[in-house]
Structure 1
Amino acid sequence: MFKWIRRIKEKKLAEKKAQAEREAYHRRVHAEALERCKSGEHEWEYEYEIQGDGDPNIEGYIEITRATCRVCGESEITIEPYDKSDSQDIDYTT
């Protein structure tokens, strides 16, 4: 009569154990990635944005590049002049 209760408890215990193993694995992988970040090997995600420079007397654009590390969250922002005519010369048909 109580076999089904025992099976349910064993199943829940196995699920808890598997979840604990997954969490331990993810903690270990994250700790290794943080060590790589400390040594300077970041995993960067880049985001690019082009804006007008805001001066009404001068037509110009700037490119803002935001680099964010996926692991440690460190971010760097680079602002460079952007020449719009350079991007129009590229032939995308080939």
Structure 2
Amino acid sequence: MDAQNRIERIWQFTKAIEQAAAVGEWQQAAQLADARSPLLMSLGAQQTPAALAQIREIQAIDGRISQAAQVAQRDLGAEYQASMRATRNVSQYQRVAQF
């Protein structure tokens, strides 16, 4: 696979990762990122200006996805904590209601 085809394939993976992240399919996004990784690692240092521009856009998309993942992680953590509090409250109610 030549460099331009490789970069185009990386772009396709990146857009698929972006779409998966946008709908909260983080497992799919991770699987796609794993599949994309060898292609990224195979890129050489010498690239055309057009390829470098596309690589910069891929990096920008990756940065946005990373930020979205951090927000999702915080939100899920908050939901988990709220669920744990609710579970403790129900348990406490059940203990008190038995008396």
Specify if TM > 0.5.
Answer: no
Structure possessing the higher relative contact order (Cα contacts under 8 Å, 6 or more residues apart): 2
More helix by share: 2
TM-score normalized with structure 2 length: 0.38
TM-score normalized with structure 1 length: 0.40
More strand by share: 1
